[in-house]
Amino acid sequence: MEIHSPEFKANARIALHDASLQKALGNLRDGFPRKRAIAVSRLPEFEQLRDQARDLKNHILSHLDLYLETFERNCTANGGQVHWAADAEQARQQILDICRSVGAKTVTKGKSMISEEINLNDYLEQHGVQPVETDLGEYILQLRHDHPSHIIAPAIHLNLEDVSDAFHEHHPKYGFTERTEDAAELMAEARTVMRKHFVAADVGITGANFLVAETGSSIIVTNEGNGDLTQTLPKVHIVITSIEKVVPTLEDMSLFLRLLARSATGQEFSVYNTLSTGPRRSTDQDGPEQYHVILLDNGRSDMLGSEFQDMLRCIRCSACMNHCPVYGSVGGHAYGWVYPGPMGSVLTPQLIGVDQAGHLPNASTFCGKCESVCPVRIPLPKLMRHWREREFERHLTPSTVRQGLWGWAAFAKRPTLYRWMSRSANFLLRRLARNGRISKLPLATGWTDWRDMPAPQQGTFMDQWKKRQQSEQQQGGLL
Amino acid sequence: MPAVHTYTPARPKVALFVTCLVDMFRPGVGFAAVKLLEQAGYSVEVPPTQTCCGQPAFNSGDRLTTKDIARQVIDAFEDYPYVVGPSGSCIGMLHHYPELFADEPAWQQRAEKLATRAWELTSFLQDVAQFQGIDAQFDGTVTYHDSCSGLRELGVKQQPRTLLGQVKGLELKEMEESETCCGFGGTFCVKYPDISNRMVSNKTRFIKDSGANTLLGGDLGCLLNMAGKLKREGIDVQVRHVAEVLADACHQPAIGDAEV
């Protein structure tokens, strides 16, 4: 996917004026957060589970090599094949090689953000392999040549009419010539079209929500069942996933599943939780003949031991973006790459460079809502601040901000000068005010273009306090 | 007879962290805080070398300047048993100081000592002073905005509401999403003005829909933002810092209102 993160400001402005997007975002804000709150209120030990999950993830990250090698050993023992990919290019090549080895023409795909991260669809198409997305949201996006704007609800930026338009444009060749805006009819239409693809596919590619070291299994969590058909029907199943997804045991996996569904959609459990453990055995009725797991690093091991390590705890539930007032205002596309919202604002600078993604960690009020709902307690505002520090050190912070900061600091570090500045600003702002407010302030148009600046009361606190102290001392002296 | 503000051993000392915005925009909030702290039995001092908590530098990634300012604040305030400020955001910043000095143990120790003594005004009155003597009348309905830093960094939620419950005549009408950010965010509101505007517009809608005629909060930055937007939209809701109501200091015009 092309990188548009440097244009965050312009993208955000367009998003704010997109009536259809704003309608869709309104639905999101009313939906997921409310459902999560209900689900959390029904599980008294939810907060303790968050602590456990944080601690367990920290343990895993400090022994990541051990658990990944255990996973590889057990997966291989089951007849699976593990491929280590240092970067996106290597992962794409490994997947293409597997597809070519079986002469694949079409591949079905379950929902996978890692496949977005490595830009897999374009690559496969360019090399003569046709990918077909089978998650309904992803399928709609593929028809529209669009990209996900959310990590679990990829088409959240669209409304029903957009889906109708897309189907009406692309489905007549399957016999669906009538345009419908009935959700159930649209679903049935998608299902019929999808069946053909499921049966025809040579390879099925899915992501993995977790990898289980003790059994060598991968698990996908879906609500549509598309992932199951993707990974069981074709001859070859490829799992594309990243190194931080490994957990030690099935027991540990269940802890994360309990947190994941509740944090994501407010469900107690997702509808389909499907484990894959190697290829079809001789006694199995169905399943793929080959089972491959691509373990992608792509910059993640650089985060180990760094101030950003906590980010590797992320289980991709999307609670942070569902609750973020900035995401809720501009949607996911404004962030300009694969991962939006608070988790994206921390992860994206690591994956594409902070020089490209510099806006993202800055576009936050640090309201802290994301951290307060994160199931693995990632201190997202703190990590965004660390990116701001990196930007400041590398002189990537805009010069206006640097100069403003330098000027302000020159006063803030000198109390006497600061008193004078505060007094002068108080005086000047009062001069500019009419009826208790200022409607236009030349150096602060970012403020006054949208709202009035309330005028200060007369005289600074420090000056008035000093006077009060002096007069009390005088009175005290007289008495 | 001793003057009211001189130290007597019976009255424990509190250092007032005025905050830049209260100093420059609304000294009345500072005096309201002084009055409340005195009513609660404390002797208030205002260390004269205080300026700002350093948050603009901290949140812009300028660690060195932040540390310089943090040292200045620690020097000015560390000798007091309590440091109290009418802002969850600035006091929250004081609680961040220890993490700045990870590689300077002596300073870190001083920073930690200061952080344990630093309190947001309403939580100090409620949780430390256990103050029951609010002596104020306010005939009107109010709605309360929970500012982010106070709420999520310091756990300020019930304290202002419990104190407001002691104000005669006051009725509290909660707005929808009182815990959602107003879009101020320090420099955020000028760096990303149109996103900030969307956020504050959502907020003013909730404020208006609450039916309250006064908006209260504990952080002047947020209050200036919301008052400015309410004024621009012509919504007739007065905006005040919670300390003004608790200290019975509402004779002064509300934030953004004309002086008579």
Within A178-336, strands assigned E span 203-206, 210-212, 217-222, 236-242, 246-247, 272-276, 290-296
Residue B257 near chain A (CB below 8 Å)? yes
Selected residues 88-147 of chain B with any CB under 8 Å from a CB in chain A: none
Q: Which pLDDT belongs to residue A166?
A: 96
Taking the CB of residue B237, how many other CB atoms lie within 10 A of it? Answer: 21
Contact B228, B16 (CB under 8 A): no
* Helix residue spans in A298-340 (DSSP H): 300-303, 319-322, 325-330
Mean pLDDT for the stretch of residues A271-277: 95
State the nearest Cα–Cα gap between B202 and chain A, in angstroms: 10
Interface of B with A in 35-64 (CB under 8 A): 46, 48-52, 54, 56-63
pLDDT given at position A473: 87
> What is the DSSP code string of B128-185?
IS-------EEEEEEEEE--HIIIIIH--SHHHHHHHTTSEEEEE-PPTTTTS--S-T
For residue A373, with 0-12 CB atoms within 10 Å meaning exposed, 13-18 middle and 19 or more buried, which class applies? Answer: buried
Say how far apart CA A306 and CA A354 lie, in whole Å: 15
| Dihedral angle computed from the Cα positions of residues B185, B190, B194 and B198, in that order, rounded to the nearest 10 degrees | 30
3-state helix, strand, coil in chain A (%, to 5): 60, 10, 30
CATH of region A33-302, choose from 2.120.10.30, 3.30.470.10, 3.40.50.10420, 3.40.50.2300: 3.40.50.10420
Q: Do A479 and B180 touch (CB under 8 A)?
A: no
Residues of B in contact with A425 (CB under 8 A): 24
Residues 270-329 of A with CB under 8 A from B: 325-326, 329
Long-range CB pairs of A66-74 (<8 Å, 24+ gap) are A67/A213, A67/A246, A67/A247, A67/A248, A68/A213, A68/A243, A68/A246, A68/A295, A70/A213, A70/A214, A70/A248, A71/A211, A71/A212, A71/A213, A71/A216, A71/A246, A72/A216, A72/A295, A73/A216, A74/A213, A74/A214, A74/A215, A74/A216
By three-state DSSP, how is residue A32 classified? helix
| Mutation site for A-interface testing, chosen from B34, B43, B49, B51 by largest number of A Cβ within 10 Å | B51
| Band of pLDDT at residue B213, cut at 50, 70 and 90 | very high
B51 vs A415: CB contact, 8 Å cut-off? yes
ipTM: 0.95
**Closest C-alpha among B240, B236, B244, B223 to residue B167:** B244
How confident is the model over A396-417, as a mean pLDDT?
Answer: 93
The per-residue pLDDT for A183 is: 93
The side-by-side arrangement of strands in the sheet containing B13-16 is: B43-45, B13-16, B82-85, B118-120
Segment holding B232, helix H or strand E: helix B220-232
Domain with CATH 3.40.50.11810 in chain B: 133-246
Residue range B133-246, CATH number: 3.40.50.11810
Among B226, B44, B239, CA closest to B125:
B44
Specify the range with the lowest mean pLDDT, choosing from A42-46, A158-162, B28-32, B240-244.
Answer: A158-162
Shortest distance between the Cα of B158 and any Cα of chain A, in A, equals: 18
Q: Name the residue ranges covered by the structural domains of chain A.
A: 33-302, 414-478
B24, B56, B194: residue with CB nearest A422? B24
Q: Which of A447, A454, A469 sits opposite B256 (nearest CB)?
A: A454
CA distance A421 to A245: 53
Q: Are the C-beta atoms of residues B55 and B90 closer than 8 Å to each other? A: yes
A391 pLDDT above the threshold of 90: yes
pLDDT at A1 over 60: yes
Q: What is the pLDDT of residue A27?
A: 85
Round to whole Å and give the CA distance between B1 and A448: 50
Distance between CA atoms of residues A326 and A335, nearest Å:
10
Pairing mode of beta strands A217-222, A272-276: antiparallel
Quick check: A413 and B190 CB within 8 A? no
Subunit contact A371:B195, Cβ cutoff 8 A: no
Looking at residue A444, what is its pLDDT? 87
Report which DSSP code applies to A441.
-
Stated as kind and residue range, the H or E segment containing A349 is: helix A341-352
Bridge pairing between strands A217-222 and A203-206: unpaired
Q: What is the pLDDT of residue B6?
A: 54
List pLDDT tens digits, range A185-217.
999 999 999 999 999 999 999 999 999 999 999
HSE-up (13 A, CA, CB side) for residue B178 = 21
- At B92-111, the pLDDT tens digits run 999 999 999 999 999 999 99
Report the alpha-carbon distance of residue A168 to residue A163 in Å, rounded.
Answer: 8
pLDDT, position A129: 97
Check CB contact under 8 Å for B255 and A454: yes
Residue A244 burial by Cβ neighbours in a 10 Å radius (0-12, 13-18, 19+):
buried
CB contacts, 8 Å: A383 with chain B: none
Is the pLDDT at B7 greater than 90, yes or no?
no
Provide the token pair at B167: 């104000």
- For residue B158, how far is the Cα from the chain centroid? 15
pLDDT at B260: 80
CA distance A298 to A117: 9
Q: What is the pLDDT of residues A139-148, one digit of tens each?
A: 999 999 999 9
Asked if A354 has any chain B CB less than 8 Å from its own CB, the reply is no
Q: Which of B31, B183, B257 sits opposite A365 (nearest CB)?
A: B183
Band (B5; pLDDT cuts 50, 70, 90): low
How high is the pLDDT of residue B197?
Answer: 97
Contact B48 A462 (CB under 8 A): yes
Contacts with A392 from chain B: Cβ below 8 Å:
60-63
DSSP string for B7-61: --TTS-EEEE---HHHHHT-HHHHHHHHHHHHHTT-EEE--TT----SHHHHTTT
- CB-based contact (8 Å) between A470 and chain B? no
